[in-house]
Chain A
Amino acid sequence: MTAVLSILHESWLSLRAQGLFKLTMGLNLLVIVAFASIGFTDTGVSMFFGLSHADSEHVNANSPWAKLLYLGIFSAIIVNVWLAWIATGLALLSTSSIFPNFVSQGAVELTLSRPISRTKIFLSKYCGGLLFVVMQVSVFTTGAFLAAGWRVGAWDPAIFLAIPLITLFYSYLFCINVFVGIWTRSTLTALIVTLVFWFSAFSLRTAENLVTRFVYSTEIQMQRDDERIGELMHQIETAHGPAITTFETRLDEQQKSLEANRTAHEKLEAWQGPLQVARWLVPETSGTINLLKRSLEHDASATFEDLMSGELFRESPRRNRNADFEADAKVSDRENARPVWWVLGKSLGFEAVVLAAAIWLFRRKDF
């Protein structure tokens, strides 16, 4: 245990010595201050501690939606944009050199020659690398928790879920980084491969969602075509004179539309299958982060998206929306309905496989 603690302590000292760690921490605090500067008045929303104000009849200090907006800004914007992209990018830049430096000639001998197994060294060093994110997100989340409590009285400990979730998300990328770092001993190669993997996983998820959205959209349109065809056939039966020709022309157009949608649906389904299989193989980067939003909105009667799109205050029912809008909602519902074990289980399974390969490489490699 002393050896493991020594490696973790050394990792902490290494992070503390990095300018990028301090810079990211400073930026984190800046983002939290900006988040805390958002407040609610009787007439709307104030920003920058009251320097700017936007009137809103729906969202104000007396509205039940203020809390939804505030926590939504945290989970959907700050976490999704700042932590999941910018801070993660900075963390990757900062930690990519950990393993290549560690396994470089002259450095690795001093650690491997100790009475501690290579697996233990590897795992301790790996956890040491994750410290960067744990430290950053912990400070960030504590700030967000205090700001949310102060501004909207939402003393919601679920905010702290951001610490394990963001760390997990980062670990999916870091395991690739470590594997390549040990294999090639090159910081640059490890960083580039990790970035390529990250964008590939993101693109795969986006592509699968996009194709599924179109599949849903064509299904809805086919259903509507069917309904319209039924209506037109009924109208033809009951119509007289030249109106029949008009209805027949419309029926013909509707049938062509149905055929076109059916063809598109079949083509899209042919893509959907392989994309779903491919998505099974990669970790759920966005899905893991989305768990935080799901957790914060679990007992809310509406979502942040409904609030931002104005859907909450619209009187028209959902079924009157166009097919694309409905398909979007269906995809979103599908993503939110994915069980936690699916999101985390397959992602952790992926990480375990990559780490096992990295440990195998680290154990058998000559340095």
Chain B
Amino acid sequence: MTSDAAITIRDAHKTFKGGVQALRGVSMTVNRGQIFGLLGPNGAGKSTLVKILMTVIHPTLIDGDLLGKPVGHRATLRRVGYLPEHHRFPVYLTAEQLLHYYGGLEGMRRPERRARIGELLDLTGMSAWARKKVGGFSKGMQQRVGLAQALLHDPELILLDEPTDGVDPVGRREIRQLLLHLQSQGRTILVNSHILAELEPICQQVAILVKGKLAREGTVAELTADRQRWEVEIDGPEPTWIDTLKGVDCRTEGTHHCLSIGGDAAPMVQQMIDLARGEGRTVRRVERIGESLEDLFIRSLEESGEADAATPGAASAGKAGK
């Protein structure tokens, strides 16, 4: 029986030598088939968490599962693809040799690798550079090859740490489309990124880490619901009926007035429109405004009382230094 969760983490702690606390009791769940965004400022512990899942870093304490097996179960890594942040490939290898190398590490046989490499170089738009040395590639090209190596062994779960780092806008859009394509194949994707606007349209679920703690977790809609509001812009003097409507704010913008009400208040909006029209006013704009992921992110930092959370460096229990 397979669980619905691709990743389950309960109470993950990591304290580095020197007392730097990178993770302070993080718990979260990534459901299968989702694109999950892991957000947080520099030093929040995002990469540390991903590295723990990939056994690159040993946790101080963790209780969790990866594809139904305990975190650290090495054979399970064959079902996981990973693209680390700031990765450095052996510069003397060609793209093709590089993929053969990493495919070999995954235990893939040569004929299998050969077929898959051609397919992935096509998918990432790198076919023309298959026989060129990686050392001569731009950052964006290296990122594409990096994605190819993460997908080489046909993984069920893909962990991507800043996948669009150094990629131009066209490339970023292609990567977003690729992620959606991979999701449509039933794969689970965890994306760790600073570029919130990129994650917003593709992530079903996000988690925000701040100084090693989980500040928020949920769907973008859930997390931004309490900050949604309606705005109705009308002509003419300030309406006299405004005081009769509970929770409506009014601000003057030149010759117009902007009426604003928070939450899911569609009936109230209808009432405002009716009242305005009844007075012969022109309704210029009716808009439902949601909180952006970036707003949510900034709000999470402020609410967690971590005014300096956006500065580099993880939380420190004592003397800092990894």
Which B residues touch A104, using CB under 8 A?
88
Which A residues touch B149, using CB under 8 A?
110
Chain B 54-91 interface residues, beta-carbon cutoff 8 Å to A: 54-58, 74-78, 80, 82, 84-90
CA distance A13 to B104 in the complex (A): 15
Q: Interface residues of A toward B: which range?
A: 20 to 34
Q: Interface residues of B toward A: which range?
A: 35 or more
CB atoms of A3 and B88 under 8 A apart: no
Select the residue from A105, A106, A109, A364 with max chain B CB neighbours within 10 A: A109
Select the residue from A5, A16, A114 with max chain B CB neighbours within 10 A: A114
Q: Is B129 an interface residue (CB 8 A)?
A: no
Q: Is A7 an interface residue (CB 8 A)?
A: yes
Choice from A109, A114, A367 contacting B106 with Cβ under 8 Å: A114
CB atoms of B100 and A6 under 8 A apart: yes
CB atoms of B86 and A115 under 8 A apart: no
Q: A2-B108, A13-B92, A112-B54 are in contact. Are A106 and B84 (CB under 8 A)?
A: yes
Chain A 6-26 interface residues, beta-carbon cutoff 8 Å to B: 6-7, 9-10, 13-14, 16-17
CB atoms of B77 and A109 under 8 A apart: no
Which B residues touch A114, using CB under 8 A?
77, 102, 105-106
CB atoms of B56 and A113 under 8 A apart: yes
**What residue of chain B has the Cβ atom nearest to residue A6's Cβ?**
B104
Which A residues touch B87, using CB under 8 A?
106-107, 109-110
Q: Is B28 an interface residue (CB 8 A)?
A: no
Choice from B57, B74, B76, B93 contacting A116 with Cβ under 8 Å: B74
- In whole Å, how far is B294's beta carbon from the nearest beta carbon of chain A? 27
Q: Is A57 an interface residue (CB 8 A)?
A: no
Choice from A3, A109, A366 contacting B105 with Cβ under 8 Å: A3
CA distance A344 to B77 in the complex (A): 40
CB atoms of A3 and B75 under 8 A apart: no
**What residue of chain B has the Cβ atom nearest to residue A15's Cβ?**
B92
Which B residues touch A17, using CB under 8 A?
92
Chain A 107-134 interface residues, beta-carbon cutoff 8 Å to B: 107-117
CA distance A364 to B57 in the complex (A): 9
Select the residue from B74, B89, B104 with max chain A CB neighbours within 10 A: B104
Q: A14-B92, A114-B106, A117-B74 are in contact. Are A366 and B56 (CB under 8 A)?
A: yes
CA distance A209 to B114 in the complex (A): 58
Q: A5-B104, A10-B101 are in contact. Are A108 and B92 (CB under 8 A)?
A: no
Q: A110-B84, A113-B56, A113-B77 are in contact. Are A3 and B104 (CB under 8 A)?
A: yes
**What residue of chain A has the Cβ atom nearest to residue B102's Cβ?**
A110
CB atoms of A13 and B77 under 8 A apart: no
Q: Is B16 an interface residue (CB 8 A)?
A: yes
CB atoms of A366 and B16 under 8 A apart: yes
CA distance A110 to B105 in the complex (A): 10
CA distance A2 to B153 in the complex (A): 14
CA distance A107 to B16 in the complex (A): 20
Q: Is B31 an interface residue (CB 8 A)?
A: no
- In whole Å, how far is B41's beta carbon from the nearest beta carbon of chain A? 19
- In whole Å, how far is A161's beta carbon from the nearest beta carbon of chain B? 33
Choice from B16, B56, B58, B77 contacting A115 with Cβ under 8 Å: B77
Which A residues touch B86, using CB under 8 A?
105-106
Q: A13-B93, A109-B87, A115-B74 are in contact. Are A2 and B82 (CB under 8 A)?
A: no
CB atoms of B104 and A367 under 8 A apart: no
Q: Interface readout for B36-66 with A: 1 if CB under 8 Å, 0 if not? A: 0000000000000001001111100000000
CB atoms of B55 and A110 under 8 A apart: no
Q: Is B107 an interface residue (CB 8 A)?
A: yes
Select the residue from A7, A16, A366 with max chain B CB neighbours within 10 A: A366
Which B residues touch A109, using CB under 8 A?
51, 54, 56, 82, 84, 87
- In whole Å, how far is B163's beta carbon from the nearest beta carbon of chain A? 14
Q: Is B97 an interface residue (CB 8 A)?
A: yes
Which A residues touch B16, using CB under 8 A?
366
Which B residues touch A2, using CB under 8 A?
104, 107-109
Which A residues touch B75, using CB under 8 A?
115
Which B residues touch A115, using CB under 8 A?
74-78, 106-107
Which B residues touch A367, using CB under 8 A?
51, 56-57
Which B residues touch A7, using CB under 8 A?
104-105
Which B residues touch A105, using CB under 8 A?
86, 88
Q: Interface readout for A275-316 with B: 1 if CB under 8 Å, 0 if not? A: 000000000000000000000000000000000000000000
Which B residues touch A116, using CB under 8 A?
74, 105, 107
Choice from A9, A16, A364 contacting B104 with Cβ under 8 Å: A9
**What residue of chain A has the Cβ atom nearest to residue B82's Cβ?**
A113
Which B residues touch A110, using CB under 8 A?
82, 84, 87, 89, 102, 149
Q: List 23 A-B contacts (CB under 8 A).
A: A3-B106, A7-B104, A7-B105, A10-B90, A10-B93, A13-B90, A13-B93, A14-B90, A106-B87, A106-B88, A107-B87, A109-B87, A110-B84, A110-B87, A110-B149, A114-B102, A115-B75, A115-B78, A116-B74, A117-B74, A364-B58, A366-B51, A366-B58
Residues on B lying within 8 angstroms of A by beta carbon are 16, 51, 54-58, 74-78, 80, 82, 84-90, 92-93, 97, 100-109, 149
Known: A112-B54, A115-B78. 20 other contacts (CB 8 A): A2-B108, A2-B109, A3-B104, A3-B105, A16-B92, A106-B85, A106-B87, A106-B88, A110-B84, A110-B89, A111-B105, A113-B54, A114-B102, A114-B105, A115-B75, A115-B106, A116-B107, A117-B74, A364-B58, A366-B57
Residues on A lying within 8 angstroms of B by beta carbon are 2-3, 5-7, 9-10, 13-14, 16-17, 104-117, 364, 366-367
* Shortest Cβ-Cβ A-B pairs, 4 listed: A6-B104, A17-B92, A106-B88, A113-B54
